[in-house]
Amino acid sequence: MASVMTCSSIGLRAHVWLLFVLLPVVLVVLLPGVHGGKKFSAVFMFGDSIVDPGNNNHRLTEAKANFPPYGQDFPGGVATGRFSNGKVPGDFLASKLGVKELLPPYLGGDLQLNDLLTGVAFPSGGSGYDPLTSTLSNAMSSADQLELFRDYKEKLTALVGEEEMARVLSQAFFFTAMGSNDILNNYFTLPLRRKEYDLPSYVDFLVSSAINFTTTLNDMGAKTIGFVGVPPLGCCPSQITLGGSPSRECDPLRNQASELFNSKMSKEIDRLNAERNVYGSKFAYVDIYYNVLDLILNPALYGFKEVSEGCCGSTVLDAAIFIAYHSACPNAIDYIFWDGFHPTEKAYDIVVDKLIQQSTQYLM
């Protein structure tokens, strides 16, 4: 028997069809912070070369990347000072959180009002929580970065007033990503701190410094702060080379140091949440260790072919100014690491996706 379709049944089906079409859109609007949603109006970044978009460009330091082959895959093929072949985590975080496509450096650029309203990056390549770390590389220390943030607040206040400045900070997501240079440079490569501390004691010192940085940032107006741990440092190509593994395996001692730092920081972030959440502040420990390690252990799953060599080399000197004008690496898409220390744009993109998924409770 042929079915009879009435006007009411057509209308019902139309409404059902519209529901399925519009539901995803409604969810994105009601659940901001996921891809396409927009809970946060600004993103701010602090850290080292992993997230430095060019603050070191005009600084007298070896830790800079404003020359080829850096930036070969950045829009326009421009070497902006980002330590990769393209974009870095701050860019992807700002983009995936629906704020803007690129997170600009606070220094050296012609920043417009909209740049200031939607967030900037204060990191400095070579920096760390240990003041000695930045001294060794002539980078801006973590304390210097907080001073830049103070300067930013004064500049924005002069432009839009105290109330609007406070609103921007209260609706922003702050990220900090440091610690790698402290562990690698101060403790392993140039063992200056090893003369004063055993590894657990030095990690305790770093954790205490990192917590002081985080609470100071909170006291300066940052309400939502994501603390990014350190990656498996023993798996960086330069550290594999230093570790001496003939089979190019990750160095276990450097990875143990990374895990120890991350474990202690995670517990301290939990403590901060318990103490300061009552004041409307949120702190998120964001794991990067196992996200990067997953890429290394399962490269084919993510489309990578090379896990232990850097596209531009795999020693301590295969990074920053030491590879200035190194020939381009056309198959960077096959590599997890761009140079001896820093991942490729593709690896960053994948890892930031994972970080956002894990931070859903803070993004919604």
Whether the CB-CB separation of 69 and 323 falls below 8 Å is answered with yes
Strands, E assignment, 38-166: 42-47
Residue 12 lies inside a defined structural domain of this protein: no
Tell me how many domains the chain contains: 1
- Note the pTM of the prediction, 2 decimals: 0.88
Pairwise CA distance, residues 142 & 213, whole Å: 7
Order of strands across the sheet that contains 42-47? 42-47, 172-177, 224-228, 282-286
Residue 132 lies inside a defined structural domain of this protein: yes
Residue 29 lies inside a defined structural domain of this protein: no
Instruction: Give the residue numbers annotated as catalytic, written as ranges.
Output: 49, 339, 342
Residue 27 lies inside a defined structural domain of this protein: no
3-state DSSP assignment of residue 335: strand
Residue 304 lies inside a defined structural domain of this protein: yes
Pairwise CA distance, residues 339 & 110, whole Å: 29
148 C-beta neighbours (distance < 10 Å), count: 19
3-state DSSP assignment of residue 32: strand
Residue matched to tokens 């198959």: 331
* Torsion angles phi and psi, residue 299, rounded to 5: -60, -40
Query: pLDDT tens track of the chain, all 364 residues?
Result: 333 333 333 343 333 333 333 333 332 333 334 444 448 999 999 999 999 999 999 999 999 999 999 999 999 999 999 999 999 999 999 999 999 999 999 998 789 999 999 999 999 999 999 999 999 999 999 999 999 999 999 999 999 999 999 999 999 999 999 999 999 999 998 888 999 999 999 999 999 999 999 999 999 999 999 999 999 999 999 999 999 888 999 999 999 999 999 999 999 999 999 998 767 899 999 999 999 999 999 999 999 999 999 999 998 888 898 898 888 898 999 999 999 999 999 999 999 999 988 877 665 5
The rounded Cα 126 to chain-centroid distance in angstroms is 15
The boundaries of the domain holding residue 74 are 38-363
Residue 11 lies inside a defined structural domain of this protein: no
Whether the CB-CB separation of 214 and 175 falls below 8 Å is answered with no
Whether the CB-CB separation of 362 and 282 falls below 8 Å is answered with yes
Pairwise CA distance, residues 46 & 68, whole Å: 24
Beta-strand pair 172-177/42-47: parallel
Residue 287 lies inside a defined structural domain of this protein: yes
Whether the CB-CB separation of 53 and 103 falls below 8 Å is answered with yes
Residue 21 lies inside a defined structural domain of this protein: no
Q: What is the CATH number of the domain that holds 129?
A: 3.40.50.1110
